[in-house]
Amino acid sequence: MKDTSYKVLEVAGGKPVKAWIDGVPLDPGAREQLLNTARMPFIFKHLAVMP
């Protein structure tokens, strides 16, 4: 089992979001922006988010 320091948000119709957000609040509006961005056709493997 691999221990990671990030959370993976699965996105319907898009690529996963790898988010380093442990202990950091994620605003609902910011989360929606991340999900929309992850659905863009030019995102390759995943979207990385580091606040």
What is the pTM for the complete model shown? Answer: 0.86
Question: Could you tell me if residue 41 is inside a domain?
Answer: yes
- Work out the average pLDDT over 11-15: 98
Percent of the chain with pLDDT over 90: 86
Exposure b/e, 12-51, CB count within 10 A at least 16 = b: eebbebbbebeeeeeeeeeeeebbeebeeeeeeebbebee
Domain holding 44, by residue range, is 7-49
Q: Based on the structure, what is the number of domains in the chain?
A: 1
Question: Could you tell me if residue 1 is inside a domain?
Answer: no
Question: Could you tell me if residue 23 is inside a domain?
Answer: yes
Choice between 20 and 51, residue whose per-residue pLDDT is larger: 20
Question: Could you tell me if residue 40 is inside a domain?
Answer: yes
Question: Could you tell me if residue 25 is inside a domain?
Answer: yes
Which band of pLDDT confidence, cut at 50, 70 and 90, is reported for residue 41?
Answer: very high
- Work out the average pLDDT over 15-35: 95
Question: Could you tell me if residue 2 is inside a domain?
Answer: no
- Work out the average pLDDT over 29-47: 98
